Chains A and B, each alone.
Chain A
Amino acid sequence: MWFLPFLGLFAGAALGYLLNIEIPAHLVKYFSVAFLAALDTIFGGIKSIQNGSFEGILLITGFFTNMLVAGFFAYIGDSIGVDLYLAAVFAFGVRIFSNISQIRHNIIAKYFKINRDDNDE
């Protein structure tokens, strides 16, 4: 079952490729931010699965909330002439890196039986 998310990734890519939606230029930002939000949610989800604190509803709502807020930021940023969506990009980027780091720690701890401090990078 673990391969299902990977399959989903490819299925989504295939869907996007087949639908070949031509998005208007001013919506590209939203899509890229949405992509980052999805990536963030994926790594967050993996981490919470490893931690055993996974809640599907939390993840889904978090995903959509993050996406909406990021989209809102992008919109506001466009309106006032500041690239505010970069804040969302930055936040997602930082979270993705920290999540990956924790996932790595978890995996290493699992396979090498290393005692792990929770807040250690």
Chain B
Amino acid sequence: MGANMPDLSQDQIRAQLESLGFAVFDEDLPEITHRVNALHEALVNLDDPEIDSIEPLPIFWLAEEK
């Protein structure tokens, strides 16, 4: 995924959700679309030189517990 990931359209969002078995109310679709595009864009643009060497363990203290 590159930094210029294009926004998804409302029709694309609806199709993706329906493919997962979710019905979509018409009044929800604009906000869901904004949310998806915002989340994607913001995450795509995050970067750090160490990102490939990190092991993403979500429970931190286990490594410290005696």
Bound together: no
Which chain A residues have a beta carbon within 8 Å of chain B's beta carbons?
none
